[in-house]
């Protein structure tokens, strides 16, 4: 399945990252790691490590605004193919 990891800035969609090959056993933390690996890490040239970023990141289900626990699987949160999640970051990159 695929999901979209989105970043919004002042109400404007700034990043719409499509992640293919996701399965329902992936956790929210797995999605955040992929976002860090493919979006944040290349932009910051590794100055923000995963260990620094992970505690400051979260995901919100786009359709209901619920922040998800990092150990929740996509199956547990009822994710469907093509669903969008909003990435929360407590830092600028």
* CATH (domain of 15): 3.10.20.90
Q: What's the pTM value of the predicted model, to 2 decimals?
A: 0.91
Number of domains the chain is built from: 1
Interval 15-37: pLDDT, tens: 999 999 999 999 999 999 999 99
Tell me the pLDDT band of 42, cut-offs 50, 70 and 90: confident
- Its domain, for residue 48, covers 3-89
Would you state the structure tokens that stand for residue 79, as one six-digit string?
A: 């994710």
Would you state the structure tokens that stand for residue 85, as one six-digit string?
A: 């999640």
């Amino acid at each position: 399945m695929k999901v979209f990891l989105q970043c919004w800035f002042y109400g404007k969609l700034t990043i719409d990252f499509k992640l293919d090959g996701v399965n329902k056993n992936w956790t929210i933390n797995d999605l955040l790691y992929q976002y860090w690996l493919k979006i944040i890490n290349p932009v910051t040239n590794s100055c923000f490590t995963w260990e620094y970023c992970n505690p400051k990141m979260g995901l919100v289900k786009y359709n209901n605004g619920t922040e998800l626990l990092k150990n929740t699987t996509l199956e547990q949160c009822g994710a469907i193919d093509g669903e969008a999640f909003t990435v929360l970051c407590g830092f600028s990159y």
